[in-house]
Every structure is written in C-alpha cells, then in structure tokens.
C-alpha cells in the first residue's frame, strides 16, 4: 500500500520511535499519546482492520498478542494495560492499517467507551 502511513513506518520511509520488531510485526510509540505509555503494534503486511481478518491471519494475530505480552513485560506494565483496536468509522479508525493500541501508565477505570 503506497499511501498508507503505517506501511511507510514499517518500511522506514516515515521515522518512528521503535519499541519492538519481529518478522511479522512492528511496534512504535504513538505520535499523540493518550496515556503515559501509548504504543501501537501493527502487522508488517497491510491489513485494513479487524473486519477483514480471515483464517489465514490467525497465526499473525496470535503472534501479535504474544508480542504484546512481551512488550508489556519489557515496558514494566505490571500494574496493567489496555489493548484497543478500532475498526471502521463508528469506532473512530483513522489509519486504515490494522493496529492495536497498548495503553498504560495511569488508572483508566472500568468504562470502555467515553
């Protein structure tokens, strides 16, 4: 995807503050953090959102979640963290490349939707 910001971040065309990388995924700090710790993890391949995931993506998504656990450990998030993936307009997805927000560093309470 030539016009996708996150594809450009993955291939280094747009600089980012890298947190973690493996063969299938890339994690970096959000440019506009919504919590003291705000990391995004994305698949290296372009996938639009959760809405288009298929059976062929099961290993990829599983790996991303194992990597989220690794990142949480490395970042010292013992007190907890929240994982969010916005999919589509009603969810407020602004970048149409699948990503998981990892939010932490403050008490976020029990509500999920503002």
Q: Which residues are catalytic?
A: 99
Q: Give the residue from 66, 69, 99 showing the smallest Cα distance to 84.
A: 99
Token duo for residue 13: 């065309």
Token duo for residue 88: 């589509």
Rounded least distance, CB 33 to ligand 5GP, Å: 8
- The residue (of 38 and 44) whose beta carbon lies closer to Zn ion is 44
4 binds, among Zn ion, ligand 5GP, none (CB under 5 to 8 A by kind): Zn ion
- The residue (of 55 and 67) whose beta carbon lies closer to ligand 5GP is 67
Rounded least distance, CB 26 to Zn ion, Å: 11
- The residue (of 4 and 83) whose beta carbon lies closer to Zn ion is 4
C-alpha gyration radius of the chain: 14
Q: CA-CA distance, 48 to 74, in Å (whole number)? A: 28
Q: CA-CA distance, 79 to 91, in Å (whole number)? A: 26
Binding residues vs ligand 5GP (CB under 6 A): 5, 14, 16, 28-32, 40, 86, 92-95
């Amino acid at each position: 995807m030539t016009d996708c910001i996150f594809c450009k971040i993955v291939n280094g065309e747009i600089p980012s503050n890298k947190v973690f990388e493996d063969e299938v995924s890339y994690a970096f700090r959000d440019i506009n953090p919504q919590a003291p710790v705000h990391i995004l993890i994305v698949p290296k391949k372009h996938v639009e959102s959760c809405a288009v995931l298929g059976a062929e993506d099961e290993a990829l998504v599983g790996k991303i979640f194992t990597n989220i656990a690794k990142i949480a450990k490395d970042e010292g998030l013992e007190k907890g963290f929240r994982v969010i993936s916005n999919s589509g307009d009603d969810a407020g997805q602004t970048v149409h490349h699948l990503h998981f927000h990892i939010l932490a560093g403050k008490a976020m309470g029990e509500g999920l939707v503002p």
